[in-house]
Structure 1
Amino acid sequence: MRRQVLLFILIVYLNSVSYSIPEEMAKGSLIGNIAQDLGLDIKRLTSGKARIFTNDNAEYVELNRDRGVLLVKEKIDREALCAQTTPCALHFQIILENPMELYTVVVEITDINDNTPIFEKPEMAFKISESAVLGAKFLLERAIDPDVGKNSLQSYFLTKTENFVLKLKDQPDGEKIVEMIIQKPLDREKEEEISLVLTAVDGGEPNLSGTAQIHVTVLDANDNAPVFTKTIYKATITENAPKGTVITRVTASDADKGSNSKVTYSISNTAADVRHMFGINEINGDLMLKSNVDYEKARHYQIHVQASDEGGLTDSCKITLEVIDVNDNKPVINIMSQTNVIPEDSKPATVVTMVNVQDVDSGDNGKVHCTINEHIPFTLKSTSNNFFNLVTDSELDRERASEYNITVTCSDEGVPSLSSSVTLTLQISDVNDNPPVFERSSYEAYIVENNTPGLSIFTVRARDADWNQNARVSYILEDSSVNGVPVSSYVSVSADSGVIHAVRSFDYEQIKDFQFHVKAQDGGSPPLSSNVTVKILIQDQNDNPPQVLYPVQSGGSVVAEMVPRSADVGYLVTKVVAVDVDSGQNAWLSYKLQKATDRALFEVGLQNGEIRTIRQVTDKDAVKQRLTVIVEDNGQPSRSATVIVNVAVADSFPEVLSEFTDFPHDKEYNDNLTFYLVLALAVVSFLFITCLVVIVSVKIYRWRQSRILYQSNLPVIPYYPPRYSDTLGTGTLQHVYNYEVCRTTDSRKSDCKFGRAGSENVLIMDPSSTGTMQRIQNEKSILDEPESPLEVIFGLFNKSRANSLHHTQILFISK
């Protein structure tokens, strides 16, 4: 028979293609151009890694990607593949990836006449009584031809004989039973042994045939043959029935008597594999199971039983046996295509894995449904019969789950249900979708001033939920300026560790704090980043000693505070005013009297630096008093400064001059000095008189206004001078005093210059100061009770004179 590829394309659902080829084609023979028939480019087969998926253990077809054709991989024997089943076909799928595609291919295997009819028993023996009636039938062994269709067994021929003739009897299932019928009576005396040849011929071109020998022994008369109660017996058996199970019983009877009526049963005209599975009790006709039956291998059996008497007469019947399916096969899960790694930004409905499920059971026992474990972002969708796609059901997040163990469980609908499962491991690859996140929303760090450049101040940390390079965080100092200077000249940031270093040494007195931004950037592409604000607070160090503002110390001059001998206890001599540019406790100042000419006469306020008398001044006290005051801050260790305060205890200037004048006795120098002293005294006196006139005029004006208010019975509102606060804001100067100092001129002729008397018009509103409150009451009494102009003049004169002596400073200059 000419072998060639017969191509027919039938487009069915799911992009299927069908081919038809004869069996026994040589290895490498062409089946068909699959690329052309599916409308695919050959390059698509290569890029998609096209491959064949089949449920059969043996692969008979191979795919040539380069040519895009299907070839015979192994020689195909249709009889071994399908037996008598028609049509016989190979079913498989072609799978492509990127994207995944599935095509179904059916290759029909057609039969060729390559098998000769064969008799399982090459010799048959019959014992026939000579009294056998005409028309008596004798069932012959039939020949077996594995081919199908016209190539199968078609007819039988018997060698020419006068006594017998062949008769073919068609069964409802299409089988042909061969019977040998007596057409002429036998005569044992003439011919005791008869040899015949039975020939079986198929319908192939050319036709093939097989033969068997028939030996007939003519016996003495046996008039009646056994007769079965039924021609066809029907029975069922479950596939899990144990060995020895009695399936059914056949019964035949013989009308003869004696030994001629004794019937024996045997299986005949049945394939050898069937005879191995079933047996019959030759005495009672019970059909028994000799080995296990499998519904998935054979669902129906036909067993021919022959009943024979001892006279050689026979009858036959057929048992049609149906195997009932039992749910004894688990579903078989086949992974057709699988993706092991999927990026976390994959869109929903992305195909991850293709699964094929097979259950060889039938009915409900073969119906399969599959599920996957819950609470995972995947779902299983059925694409066609027994084909499933595992697809993404929602968005993936590697930071929430980097790996999924997906268990696919398939169960049938049998009772009890059988199931099988397979676990798929799927890795989620990272995508840079998370920016670095700092541990805090903002940072504050402290550093003590006068630090060493390069000192580590603080560490900022940011974490990135991504993985590998996408989670590698680098720290960058954002460009900004502090007081017009780039922040990079103040601090630097380590790119790897986030450690902030001081670039310079900080001075608290110049800058107390500053802030900047640090950016954390990951290593993804494109990179993601986030910013955080870092505030650096400079902590003060006690690196500045107190600075004395008053009294002013000059190199070649002597400054003296004048104290009248009539001064009472607690008389305010002066106040040492000092500041400390440090802050906090480093700027808390305390004043102590370190040295004094007479320690029993003066004391210094610990907190305010006021120098006051602690006893009554007497005539015995020296005019020239030298006090050394030390000013200390509260730092650790503390710093200090000293100031020398000269105090003149005297009631007049000449007395002071005699004590504090210590110059050379040069006549010209003394004359000049005397001249300038007289001139200075005259100027001061003139200024004093002028001020006195102005004050008297103001007082007279106020007196007249108050008289008018007093006579008009209107309420008098007293005037209270405002309280002045500390102008330095350091907390070290609690009261404000007005000091007027006369300094030297540039003329070398000038020896000294006296400061004019300064009127004390500033009142300190301090409830703790009884002297101040007394002065306030005095001022108030002037407004409340009118005085005469003469009283006002004498009162102001006396008060001004006292204040002039109280607050007069003398500056002695040595040449």
Structure 2
Amino acid sequence: MERQVLFFTLFVVAPAVGHVSYSIPEEMVKGSVVGNIARDLGLDVNRLKSGKARIFTSDSSEYIELSRERGVLLVNERIDREALCRQTTPCALHLQIILENPMELFRITVEISDINDNSPTFKSTEFRISESAVIGAKFVLERAMDLDVGVNGLQGYSLKPTDNFNLKLQNQKDGSKKVEMVLQKHLDRETKDHISLILTATDGGEPRLSGTMRVDISVLDANDNAPVFTQEEYKVTVKENVPKGTIMCTVNAVDADEGSNGNVLYSITNTLDDVPNVFQVSEESGVVSLIGYLDFEKTQIYEIHVQASDDGGLTDSCKIIVEVTDTNDNAPSINIMSKTNSVSEDSKPGTVVTIFNVQDPDSGENGKVACEIEEQIPFFIKATSKNFFSLVTDSELDRERASEYNITVSCSDEGVPSLSSSVTLTLQISDVNDNAPVFERSSYEAYIVENNTPGLSIFTVKATDADWNQNARVSYILEDSSINGVPVSSYVSVSADSGVIHAVRSFDYEQIKDFQFHVKAQDGGSPPLSSNVTVKILIQDQNDNPPQVLYPVQTGGSVVAEMVPRSAEVGYLVTKVVAVDVDSGQNAWLSYKLQKATDRALFEVGLQNGEIRTIRQVTDKDAVKQRLTVIVEDNGQPSRSATVIVNVAVADSFPEVLSEFTDSTHDKEYNDNLTFYLVLALAVVSFLFITCLVVIISVKIYRWRQSRILYHSSLPIIPYYPPRYSDTLGTGTLQHVYNYEVCRTTDSRKSDCKFGRAASQNVLVMDPSSTGTMQRMQGEKSILDEPDSPLESAPPTHANSLAH
């Protein structure tokens, strides 16, 4: 064992970059150290552990093992150089050490040196030699076989005793020796018919080993001519795929003797190799044919020794060299040495995914291998060293386009025809958060009817994320903003998981008609990605407001009457009912109907414009006092309505009207202060509608029943509607400023807006608490004609349109 260690230390080769060579003797015991691979490769022992270092060999042999803890290579099992390499020199094991994270590959060569562990061997042989053999006759002896090589191989022969024969060694072209026994003294069968010799073969090892063979010689009767081959050596070249029975060649030997002494028989003398199992020779014809299979990858050259012998025991020999040529009969073999099952989609181009080795035992062009990927995918194959390839990424990956790849790697040689092998690798692409959520629309509009229940679901926004798992989990967030100074969260809320938008409060169309806000969709990645969308909520109107009558004004105490002269023609415009509805659309379309009247045959109400007109000629028989009840309805579902009472006086003179209305009012109980309120109301109306003309009426309290002040006016009183008209019922539907269009006209059939004309109508205001005194307002000029009139200073708008 000490001798082997010294031999080992002499043959350690200094490591090259990525490649280390060692030399060890054969027959080392299991566990012997081959070399410190960590030191020679410049690696740390911890790197061997973390990289899961392992040995890869193309022939799957396990002669050498790696100790990661010690960082050394050890002999795993006994190595017999002769069984491993036979006569091939040098004999070496080619290993690869593979590391992961990152992947690294190192080539290791372990040369197996020969030790003198095999003695030369023979097979006993017999000769039949005629006593007539001439001096100098040669007899070929079987060569000894020594499985060792080099100096440990066969070195010399010796023959004892040497009374009749000497040993002659003849060098061959291949370096071997042809052993011949030469007759140096005539044989005499009568004296000695059997001779035994000992042939000894020795090698050159330390210590020297030898083998012996006994040569038995039977002395025959005279046969003085030995067979002679026509040529000493034959050469045959044959392809490895030739079938059994193929004739290699025909050998021929000639014997000058006649009869049975000239009958030549042929035989193959190889005994210690596979030649007798692969070839045969016909004893009589000398035809050498194939009885087995040839394999270039196992044996490239066969040496066949053929002997020719006659019946007299004389022999001659020749050699047949059979050279086997390669054919492309082996497809490449793909061996996966290391692979990654998944790779992140943000991996950079050039990332190594798999390392594999390709072996093709054929030679020349038949053994040259090229690998490629059949599909058009973002990967390519890179050759790293001889027969080693890496599968690497070619471009950036996108899991959203392809989450998995089935990569088919095909390797083919350059033989004719070419042979190929393929393997399919499955690679998962792991996700990174590189896609923000995307809404299904660029913006959303949703409708909700006013007076809704708080918490009502309005609409659902939906966003999708092309990423996977947590990176694709979308949450919805209401962006901070304000609507008319109020946080948007006071109006709506958004479900974080479903994107459902709920109303937080009950909406009032009359207060707000629409509003918009932003919703953010955010994924669950790290860091998270998000996108925004605009949502617009439109409030739809309900018919929740009844019409409001603006004119005639319904007072609590005094009676306002429209005066119609008895001479009025058919179609005479008595007055016009003016109403508004703060709702919108068809909910604000108003229609006017005469619900009740003292004489329904005398008056009619315009369905759309609310104008009260006569429908026949007024006669003397018509009552002076006419009471009309007009109902104003909107077009909502269900519709809402308001009722207004219009008093009409049919008379040509005021005393007639006064007496009629005074009598009726005496039946009622009014407060004594009603007169004051009536005068105040008239003063306010006069102040708003008449510019530059103010009439102050002073009436002494002790003479008020006797005084009558009449004001003649050619126009009916057109009430002034203040710009801030608010709901008197306190429902809160008109909390903002609203403008209403009020068009003054004497006849809607002629004009929508018309200034006053002389003596068309009279408006009577009666104090129910008076005893007969009537106040009449008269003006020579219409207040609407005044330049400072507030109704003239702004352009008219539609009576039912609302503006904030």
TM bucket, shorter chain: 0.7 to 0.9
Greater Cα shift, 42-51 or 418-427:
42-51
Partner amino acid, structure 2, of 1:628: T
Deviation at 1:177, TM superposition (A): 2.0
Decide which of 709, 725, 736 is 1:681's aligned counterpart: 709
Report the secondary structure of 2:549's partner residue: strand
Structure 1 residues 572 and 198: alpha-carbon distance in aligned structure 2, compared to 1, 3 A threshold: same
- Distance in 2 (CA, whole Å) between partners of 1:359 and 1:556 is 120
Q: Which residue of 2 aligns with 1:800?
A: none
Structure 1 residues 731 and 191: alpha-carbon distance in aligned structure 2, compared to 1, 3 A threshold: farther
1:43-91 per-residue CA deviation (whole Å, 9 max, x = no partner) reads 2222222111111122111112222111111221111111111111111
Structure 1 residues 139 and 476: alpha-carbon distance in aligned structure 2, compared to 1, 3 A threshold: same
C-alpha RMSD of matched pairs (Å)? 2.7
- Distance in 2 (CA, whole Å) between partners of 1:172 and 1:219 is 34
- Distance in 2 (CA, whole Å) between partners of 1:113 and 1:665 is 152
User: What is the 5 A alignment of 1:207-286?
Assistant: 207-286=208-287
Q: Which residue of 1 aligns with 2:103?
A: 100
Structure 1 residues 323 and 665: alpha-carbon distance in aligned structure 2, compared to 1, 3 A threshold: closer
Greater Cα shift, 447-456 or 559-568:
559-568
Deviation at 1:118, TM superposition (A): 1.6
Report the secondary structure of 1:214's partner residue: strand
The question of whether the paired residues in 1 share the 8 Å contact of 2:546 and 2:641 is answered with yes
- Distance in 2 (CA, whole Å) between partners of 1:584 and 1:418 is 84
Aligned: 1:581 with 2:582 = yes
Q: Which residue of 1 aligns with 2:777?
A: 755
Between the two proteins, the alignment pairs up a number of residues equal to: 719
Structure 1 residues 742 and 571: alpha-carbon distance in aligned structure 2, compared to 1, 3 A threshold: closer
Report the secondary structure of 1:488's partner residue: helix
User: What is the 5 A alignment of 1:134-173?
Assistant: 134-173=135-174
Report the secondary structure of 2:260's partner residue: helix
Aligned: 1:116 with 2:119 = yes
Q: Which residue of 2 aligns with 1:777?
A: none
The question of whether the paired residues in 2 share the 8 Å contact of 1:270 and 1:302 is answered with no
User: What is the 5 A alignment of 1:382-421?
Assistant: 382-421=383-422
Q: Which residue of 1 aligns with 2:21?
A: 18
- Distance in 2 (CA, whole Å) between partners of 1:373 and 1:90 is 34
- Distance in 2 (CA, whole Å) between partners of 1:664 and 1:622 is 18
Deviation at 1:556, TM superposition (A): 2.1
1:438-474 per-residue CA deviation (whole Å, 9 max, x = no partner) reads 1110011111111111111111111111111111111
Deviation at 1:187, TM superposition (A): 1.4
Report the secondary structure of 1:567's partner residue: coil
Decide which of 32, 36, 50 is 1:33's aligned counterpart: 36
Q: Which residue of 1 aligns with 2:679?
A: none
Q: Which residue of 1 aligns with 2:46?
A: 43
User: What is the 5 A alignment of 1:671-710?
Assistant: 675-676=703-704, 681=709, 684=711
Partner amino acid, structure 1, of 2:291: K
Report the secondary structure of 1:255's partner residue: coil
Deviation at 1:503, TM superposition (A): 0.9
1:150-170 per-residue CA deviation (whole Å, 9 max, x = no partner) reads 111111122222111112222
- Distance in 1 (CA, whole Å) between partners of 2:611 and 2:635 is 19
1:689-726 per-residue CA deviation (whole Å, 9 max, x = no partner) reads xxxxxxxxxxxxxxxxxxxxxxxxxxxxxxxxxxxxx9
Structure 1 residues 744 and 96: alpha-carbon distance in aligned structure 2, compared to 1, 3 A threshold: farther
Report the secondary structure of 1:656's partner residue: helix
Report the secondary structure of 2:415's partner residue: coil
Report the secondary structure of 1:118's partner residue: coil
Q: Which residue of 2 aligns with 1:776?
A: none
Aligned: 1:202 with 2:230 = no
The question of whether the paired residues in 1 share the 8 Å contact of 2:560 and 2:766 is answered with no
Structure 1 residues 642 and 264: alpha-carbon distance in aligned structure 2, compared to 1, 3 A threshold: same
Report the secondary structure of 2:274's partner residue: helix
Report the secondary structure of 2:709's partner residue: helix
The question of whether the paired residues in 1 share the 8 Å contact of 2:605 and 2:613 is answered with yes
User: What is the 5 A alignment of 1:322-471?
Assistant: 322-471=323-472
Q: Which residue of 2 aligns with 1:9?
A: 13
- Distance in 2 (CA, whole Å) between partners of 1:637 and 1:558 is 33
Runs (4+) off by over 6 Å: 668-674, 730-734, 737-745, 747-752
Deviation at 1:106, TM superposition (A): 0.6
User: What is the 5 A alignment of 1:289-300?
Assistant: 289-300=290-301
Identity %: 71
The question of whether the paired residues in 2 share the 8 Å contact of 1:579 and 1:732 is answered with no
1:298-337 per-residue CA deviation (whole Å, 9 max, x = no partner) reads 0000011111111111111100000121111110011111
Structure 1 residues 653 and 748: alpha-carbon distance in aligned structure 2, compared to 1, 3 A threshold: closer
The question of whether the paired residues in 2 share the 8 Å contact of 1:10 and 1:16 is answered with no
1:336-392 per-residue CA deviation (whole Å, 9 max, x = no partner) reads 111110011111111111121111011111111111113100111112221111111
Partner amino acid, structure 1, of 2:12: F
1:713-750 per-residue CA deviation (whole Å, 9 max, x = no partner) reads xxxxxxxxxxxxx97259999845789989899x9999
User: What is the 5 A alignment of 1:494-573?
Assistant: 494-573=495-574
The question of whether the paired residues in 2 share the 8 Å contact of 1:270 and 1:304 is answered with no
Q: Which consecutive unaligned segments of at least 5 residues does structure 1 have? A: 689-725, 764-815
Q: Which consecutive unaligned segments of at least 5 residues does structure 2 have? A: 676-698, 715-737, 757-761, 786-804
Partner amino acid, structure 1, of 2:777: G
Partner amino acid, structure 1, of 2:659: S
Deviation at 1:563, TM superposition (A): 1.5
Partner amino acid, structure 1, of 2:106: Y
Report the secondary structure of 2:277's partner residue: helix
Aligned: 1:88 with 2:91 = yes
The question of whether the paired residues in 1 share the 8 Å contact of 2:563 and 2:764 is answered with no
TM-score by length of 1: 0.84
Decide which of 735, 740, 743 is 1:728's aligned counterpart: 740
- Distance in 2 (CA, whole Å) between partners of 1:655 and 1:629 is 25
User: What is the 5 A alignment of 1:708-723?
Assistant: none
